[in-house]
Amino acid sequence: MNWQQHISVDPQVCHGKPCIRGTRILVSTVLDNLAAGETHEDIADQYPGLTEEHIRACLAYAADLAHGRYMDISA
């Protein structure tokens, strides 16, 4: 999955936060909904124009971030 085709960061859109390209749908919003247990279908229904491929791109983006950054959770 090449998430870069689906996700953009533009300082003029949503304060430079990662969004689905051509929209104002934040990647973090999609990920929050997934974490809350929403299905892909439910999320797509809530955000017109959002596709299954967009949702998978959000997951791929998050996975790439997790490969490069670690948080100490031992406490």
| pLDDT tens digits for range 33-58 | 999 999 999 999 999 999 999 999 99
Domain boundaries, the chain: 3-67
Which amino acid belongs to residue 61?
Y
CA 25 vs CA 10, 19, 35, 67, 71: distances in Å: 13, 5, 16, 24, 26
Give the model's confidence band at 30: pLDDT under 50 very low, under 70 low, under 90 confident, else very high: very high
The pLDDT value given to residue 69: 64
Query: 68 or 31: whose pLDDT is higher?
Result: 31
Whether residue 19 is predicted with pLDDT greater than 70 in this model: the reply is yes
Give the model's confidence band at 68: pLDDT under 50 very low, under 70 low, under 90 confident, else very high: confident
- Please tell me the class of the 3-67 domain: mainly alpha
Strands (E), the chain: 7-8, 19-20
Token couple for 39: 């299905």
The pLDDT value given to residue 40: 97
Radius of gyration over alpha carbons of the chain, in Å? 13
